[in-house]
């Protein structure tokens, strides 16, 4: 398990596809937006990952409720930041043919803390969002696994 330093800020990125992009534009610029297909937003730095997650979820919920069609959301947390048994974490490591770790449970970037996907009837990927940490010095995976087994 990785514990980010207390001084590391978080932020979120969210990509809205139509119809979410059009609803967001109606909020931002009510006279525009009919021909907008995508909107990409990156937040300012936010003090904690939990605060970034809350702000992201509130923003997505507001936009999707205004879109007025049913939607399903899926939240996935990066297992590197969750307390778990080392064997369970090892099972989530995906390696290439040279034995290099390329992802952990589908997360190819170790600085992503959470992923949020939203699907609606009209668009299977209307929202793709992530909460990320600003970069900090990461320990090697073998140290993460060793620390997890000692904890």
pLDDT tens by residue, 114-148 = 999 999 888 889 999 999 999 988 888 777 766 65
Q: Write the DSSP symbol of residue 69.
A: S
Asked if residue 98 belongs to a domain, the reply is: no
Locate 8 and state its tokens: 């590391």
pLDDT of res. 151? 47
Asked if residue 94 belongs to a domain, the reply is: no
Asked if residue 126 belongs to a domain, the reply is: yes
Asked if residue 74 belongs to a domain, the reply is: yes
How does the average pLDDT of the chain come out, rounded?
Answer: 86
pTM for this entry: 0.82
Does residue 34 carry a pLDDT above 70?
Answer: no
Domain count across the chain: 1
Alpha helices by DSSP H, the chain: 20-28, 49-67, 86-91, 141-150
Please choose, from the candidates 4, 15, 1, the residue with its C-alpha nearest in 3D space to the C-alpha of residue 150: 1
Asked if residue 39 belongs to a domain, the reply is: yes
Alpha-carbon span 73 to 51, nearest angstrom: 19
Does residue 150 carry a pLDDT above 50?
Answer: no
Angle between helix 20-28 and 49-67 (nearest 10): 100
pLDDT tens by residue, 5-29 = 888 999 999 999 888 888 888 877 7
Cβ atoms of 131 and 125 within 8 Å: the answer is no
Cβ atoms of 103 and 109 within 8 Å: the answer is no
Asked if residue 2 belongs to a domain, the reply is: no
Range of the domain at 35: 10-80+111-136
């Amino acid at each position: 398990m990785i514990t980010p330093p207390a001084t590391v800020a978080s932020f979120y990125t969210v990509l809205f596809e139509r119809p979410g992009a059009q609803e967001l534009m109606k909020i931002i610029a009510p006279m525009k937006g009919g021909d907008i297909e995508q909107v990409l937003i990156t937040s300012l730095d936010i003090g904690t990952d939990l605060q970034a997650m809350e702000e992201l979820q509130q923003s997505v919920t507001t936009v999707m409720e205004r879109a007025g069609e049913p939607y399903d959301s899926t939240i996935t947390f990066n297992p590197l930041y969750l307390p778990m048994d080392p064997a369970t974490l090892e099972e989530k490591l995906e390696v290439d043919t040279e034995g290099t770790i390329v992802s952990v449970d589908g997360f190819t970037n170790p600085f992503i803390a959470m992923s949020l996907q939203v699907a609606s009837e009209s668009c299977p990927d209307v929202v793709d969002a992530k909460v990320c940490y600003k970069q900090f010095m990461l320990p090697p995976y073998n140290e993460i696994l060793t620390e997890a087994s000692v904890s």
